[in-house]
Amino acid sequence: MRQGLLIGLGSGLVSALLFFSAARGGSWLGLVLLLLTPLPPLLAGLGWGWLSAAAGALVGSLAIAAVASLALGSGYFLAVGLPAAAIAYLAYLSRPSDSATDGREWYPVGRLLAAMSLYAGALPVLALPWLGGSFDGLKPLAAEMVRAAFKQSSDLRVQVPTDEQVGAFADLVVAVAPSALAIYWLLIMTPNLYLAGRIVGASGHLARDWPDLPLLAYPAGFSLLLGLALLAAAFAPGVIGIAGTSFSGALLFAHLLAGLALVHFLARRGARWLLWVVYAGFLLPVLSPYAAVLVTAAGVLEPALKLKQRLGAAPPKT
């Protein structure tokens, strides 16, 4: 326990340093550091338990608050520290099972990813107090970024946008910002969770079995939440509309992961060519939007079509 606590405190300080450096560093360096920020607390949580990650979350938040500001420390706690501890806690939930090889039934990976998606959707709403209650404060920044990009362009054939066009782009940025923030959080957290699990597993500290990811399945009715979020994003005003937009982005990304799991399952059943087609589509800029839409649609429709069960897989526990 003492060793786990010390490891958790160390992971929190390392993660806080990465987070602070990302906030203060250059664009490319800051992006790289931000991508690595959740890895230390996830390693501590999966290797030594959620209390270790919780200790790291607390010390990391306090360190950032002391060195930088209370707002930045709170942002670290909400975006990195708290979810890392919660993920570690959920990952090790289990109950006795006679059918499991190790005698325990572990918390399904589908439920874990569903919980992460819901937290990602809630995160932009939780950030509203720091943004003055809305994302409108991003408009001047978005407009300035557009003007700066065209000033630096050396192509004389590029027409400089008018103030009305710049304003329209800024409005678009504000409209999609909650969704983009939720997706961005998942894009950072899910690969780090996978990497942390592999590292801890290779070290022999992973205390649960590795989930069969192609059999990923979300809880019943999870897809209905996506429909409700899209309706709120389209028609609800104010905070409810912002929440609808953020949850729409998070749940669409979650179903993209479910679609990829289905692709890997079909490849396992003999359609290995499908992997090449799908990932080639993602890598080609012209095809990537269409590939993302098709794979996401497959993830949304799978609970109704039940392709995995029709092709002989045992119904995944959700």
pLDDT of amino acid 147: 76
For the cut 80, the answer to whether the pLDDT of residue 113 exceeds it is yes
For the cut 60, the answer to whether the pLDDT of residue 316 exceeds it is no
Domain ranges of the chain: 93-310
Residue 124, CA distances (Å) to 223, 239, 253, 254, 296 in order: 21, 10, 15, 16, 22
pLDDT of amino acid 213: 93
- Confidence bin at 34 (pLDDT 50/70/90): confident
- Amino acid of residue 196: A
Query: Locate tokens 């958790």: which residue?
Result: 8
Contact at 8 Å (CB) between 182 and 226? no
Query: 49 vs 312, which has greater pLDDT?
Result: 49
- Confidence bin at 87 (pLDDT 50/70/90): very high
Residues contacting 196, CB < 8 A, separation 6+: 39, 42, 43, 45, 46
154-181: pLDDT as tens digits: 555 667 777 787 788 888 888 899 999 9
The radius of gyration of the chain from alpha carbons, rounded to an integer in Å, stands at 21
Residues contacting 7, CB < 8 A, separation 6+: 44, 47, 48, 52
d(CA 117, CA 253): 8
Best CA proximity match to 169, nearest among 135, 199, 146, 203: 146
Which residues make beta-bridge pairs with 106?
Answer: 94
- Confidence bin at 318 (pLDDT 50/70/90): very low
- Confidence bin at 7 (pLDDT 50/70/90): very high
For the cut 80, the answer to whether the pLDDT of residue 148 exceeds it is no
d(CA 38, CA 18): 9
pTM, rounded to two decimals: 0.90
Mean pLDDT of the chain: 88
% of the chain at pLDDT higher than 90: 61
- Amino acid of residue 220: A
For the cut 70, the answer to whether the pLDDT of residue 1 exceeds it is no
Residues contacting 232, CB < 8 A, separation 6+: 240, 241, 243, 244, 245, 247, 248
